[in-house]
């Protein structure tokens, strides 16, 4: 019994801106140049390219659909074979009719969808017998479906027994054969549709666009200063308000306005020259103003607005340069980290306004204590100041730190709530870079910060520096 495969049906698939002013150029008639490529031809090529892409996509989708349909069809055929042969095979096995079994297996192999049939006879108290048939060219099921059916027989009601197994494996070659037939029909259909569509587009474009565009190009090639009044007309219905009609109206309007434009061009050029000179003057003035503003902004960005000292940003930039210079030249670099003693208590009891005045006074005192132009004092925190002393070694830095500490105390700014003195004082941590010392500035800053903590812990209003200097001077040289 042959089962016919299902057949697959083929599937188809703003207001105008004022004219710009340009330098005066004498108009000339452009020579007629033959076009190197036709718009219609390009359109056809583009259409063919699109159709080719669409055809490939459609072929891929339809091929996948045809493959899945073939798998479904073959699965249905194998299922139908199971349904047809299951009862008769079970009965033949029970009755031990070997000729009937051979005939059934051979009959199933005649169906084109079947690549291999395997029948296992499994009766109680009997050895299993395997009957197998396969096509000569069959190399395995591959992507073809496989069906396995357990055969049972009921000799009398309520006594169903398993008598064997039927294995049906599809022929992958039949799947590919059916797919090739469907694929050929799909490809031919899609190609014919693409070619017919491209030919129709070419014909319509040539009759509706190409002829009139050539007429417009010929007219524009002959336009000159002496015939600007000659209007453009096409051999078509003048009442059509499509794109070509708009183009014709635009060309005629352009020719009418071109004459007025040429008359006014000289006046516009003279006015433009005057405006250009005035604009250049304004640009120079604005550039100078912007440069001055940028200089002020640069100064403000590097200056603490309260004390007028350089801020942390300026300090960070200078410290890198001075550290590299000290390492390169082998000269010393001293760093003082100064902190106002008990400044929080000063703010709490005298108010923030007085605290700001205290900061200003201390900042002015620090700046006045530095005599060299290369020395830098900057506000690096709330009540914390940093002092960079290039080319300064331990002894000189120590003496300068003591002088700065004494100068702040000499200001005699009242501070009754200080734990160090009845006036505002500062504690100073000192670190000095010597050849072979810290690898980067952060290590030097850490040394100064640790020295500042030692000065605070020792009672404030002191200078704390390197360990060796502390031993030589008795740790800090306490303030009077």
Q: How far is it, in rounded angstroms, from Cα 194 to Cα 50?
A: 9
Q: Which of 99, 132, 100, 135 lies closest to 117 in space, CA to CA?
A: 132
**Beta strands across the sheet bearing 463-464:** 376-379, 384-390, 333-340, 426-433, 463-464
Long-range contacts of 282-289 (CB under 8 A, 24+ apart): none
3-state helix, strand and coil shares in percent for the chain, rounded to the nearest 5: 55, 15, 30
Structure-block tokens of residue 319: 């410290």
Q: How far is it, in rounded angstroms, from Cα 220 to Cα 255?
A: 10
The distance in angstroms from the start CA to the end CA of the chain is 123
Instruction: Determine phi and psi for 110, rounding to 5 degrees.
Output: -75, -15
The answer to whether 376 and 329 have CB atoms below 8 angstroms apart is no
CB atoms within 10 A of CB 401: 28
The DSSP 8-state label assigned to residue 386 in this structure reads E
Structure-block tokens of residue 238: 């003048």
Query: How many distinct helices (H) and strands (E) make up the chain?
Result: 11, 9
Q: How far is it, in rounded angstroms, from Cα 52 to Cα 185?
A: 16
Alpha helices, H only, 302-384: 312-329, 343-350, 352-369
Strand-strand pairing, 114-121 and 161-170? antiparallel
Burial of residue 304 (CB within 10 Å: 0-12, 13-18, 19+) is buried
**Beta strands across the sheet bearing 114-121:** 129-134, 114-121, 161-170, 146-153
298 is catalytic: no
Instruction: Determine phi and psi for 118, rounding to 5 degrees.
Output: -130, 125
Q: How far is it, in rounded angstroms, from Cα 434 to Cα 431?
A: 10
Q: Given 132, 383, 442, 475, which residue is catalytic? A: 383
Q: Which of 424, 378, 379, 390 lies closest to 405 in space, CA to CA?
A: 424
Strand-strand pairing, 463-464 and 426-433? parallel
Known catalytic residues are 383
């Amino acid at each position: 019994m042959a089962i016919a495969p299902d057949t697959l049906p083929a599937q188809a698939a703003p207001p105008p801106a004022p004219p710009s002013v340009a330098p005066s150029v004498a108009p000339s008639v452009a020579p007629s140049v033959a076009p190197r490529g036709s718009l219609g031809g390009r359109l056809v090529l583009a259409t063919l390219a699109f159709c080719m892409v669409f055809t490939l996509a459609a072929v891929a989708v339809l091929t996948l659909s045809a493959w899945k349909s073939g798998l479904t069809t073959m699965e249905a055929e194998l299922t139908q074979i199971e349904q047809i042969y299951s009862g008769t095979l079970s009965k033949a096995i029970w009755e031990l009719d070997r000729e009937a079994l051979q005939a059934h297996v051979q009959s199933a192999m005649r169906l084109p969808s079947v690549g291999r049939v395997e029948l296992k006879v499994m009766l109680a108290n009997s050895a299993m017998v395997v009957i197998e048939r396969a096509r000569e060219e069959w190399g395995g099921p591959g992507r073809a479906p496989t069906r396995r059916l357990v055969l049972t027989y009921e000799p009398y009601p309520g006594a169903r027994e398993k008598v064997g197994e039927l294995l049906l494996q599809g022929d992958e070659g039949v799947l590919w054969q059916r797919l090739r037939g469907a694929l050929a029909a799909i490809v031919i259909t899609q190609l014919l549709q693409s070619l017919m569509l491209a030919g129709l587009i070419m014909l319509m474009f040539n009759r509706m666009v190409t002829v009139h565009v050539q007429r417009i190009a010929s007219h524009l090639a002959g336009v000159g200063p002496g015939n600007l009044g000659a209007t453009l007309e096409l051999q078509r219905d003048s009442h059509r308000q499509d794109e070509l009609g708009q183009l014709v109206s635009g060309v005629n309007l352009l020719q009418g306005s071109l004459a007025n434009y040429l008359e006014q061009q000289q006046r516009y050029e003279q006015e433009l020259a005057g405006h250009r000179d005035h604009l250049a003057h304004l640009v120079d003035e604005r550039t100078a103003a912007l440069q001055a503003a940028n200089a002020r902004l640069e100064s403000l960005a590097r200056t603490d607005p309260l004390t007028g000292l350089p801020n942390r940003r300026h300090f960070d930039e200078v410290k890198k340069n001075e550290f590299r210079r000290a390492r390169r030249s082998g000269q010393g670099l001293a760093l003082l980290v100064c902190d106002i003693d008990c400044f929080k208590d000063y703010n709490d009891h005298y108010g923030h306004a007085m605290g700001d005045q205290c900061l200003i006074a201390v900042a002015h005192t620090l700046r006045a204590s530095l005599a060299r132009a290369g020395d830098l004092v900057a506000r690096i925190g709330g009540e914390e100041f940093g002092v960079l002393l290039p080319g300064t070694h331990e002894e000189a830095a120590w003496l300068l730190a003591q002088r700065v500490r004494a100068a702040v105390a000499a200001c005699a700014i009242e501070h009754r709530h200080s734990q160090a003195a009845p006036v505002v004082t500062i504690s100073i941590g000192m670190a000095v870079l010597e050849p072979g010392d810290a690898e980067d500035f952060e290590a030097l800053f850490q040394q100064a910060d640790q020295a500042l903590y030692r000065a605070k812990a020792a009672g404030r209003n002191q200078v704390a520096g390197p360990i060796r200097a502390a031993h030589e001077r008795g740790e800090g040289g306490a303030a009077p």
